[in-house]
Amino acid sequence: MNLMEILQGQLSDDVLNNLSAQIGADKEQTATAANGIFATLLGGLANNASSETGLASLGSALDRDHDGSMLDDLMGMVGGMLQGGSEGAAAPAASALNGTGILGHILGDRQEAAAEHISQSSGLNMGQIMKLMPILAPIVMGVLGRAKSSGGLDLGSLANILMGSAQGAQSGGFGDLLGSVLGGVLGGGQQGQPQQDSGSGLFGQILGGIFGKR
């Protein structure tokens, strides 16, 4: 299961056109930025799942707030969020659509640094990226939640899928982005390992250290 491919498949032409119009960008740039955001959030989730506590917290959040039902009307969800329509929605829908809160859990206080890297790779400005990130973050959690519930995944399987999907994003052309974001945003090489110029090398170090593989 490649979560990156599933996430990319959520962005229909209509959804991309809607997002592009709202942030004042062309469709191709919006798609590039969205892919960068998806890849970054998958890498961040894999990083957070490096500990038993972090993985358990993720599993609880998915069970509580993210069953994936919001994916059934993605156009409506995106349109509502762009217009601020999620305010006042009944819980757990409000939690499922709380993109700012989701970003806080995944990236902490490093959101602007991540947005800067994505801006450089996509050509969109920081304001456009910062508007896209909280809209796309619930989609990531919705896809992950649906994968967990429909597949009956335990936490170990969830961790393996996150790692594999993040590695797939790396090989799919996001190695430099993920290396710079995970290195510059999420703390660099682990356990005193020196940072490397190669994004793919650093990314492999981090994810390899997380799950002890390779």
Give the model confidence (pLDDT) of 124-176 as tens digits.
Answer: 999 999 999 999 999 999 999 998 888 888 888 888 888 888 777 766 666 66
Tens of pLDDT, residue by residue over 72-111, are: 888 888 887 776 654 434 334 577 889 999 999 998 888 8
Bond preceding residue 134 cis, omega within 30 of 0: no
With cut-offs at 50, 70 and 90, classify the pLDDT of residue 12.
Answer: very high
d(CA 93, CA 66): 9
What CA–CA distance (Å, rounded) separates 33 from 118? 6
The tokens of 137 are what? 């973050």
Give CA 87 to chain center in angstroms: 22
User: Is it the case that residue 200 has pLDDT exceeding 90?
Assistant: no
pLDDT at 16 over 60: yes
In terms of Cα–Cα distance, which of 98, 120, 88 is closest to 185?
A: 120
Q: What is the pTM of this model?
A: 0.79
**Which pLDDT score, from 0 to 100, does residue 119 have?**
92
What pLDDT sits at residue 175?
64
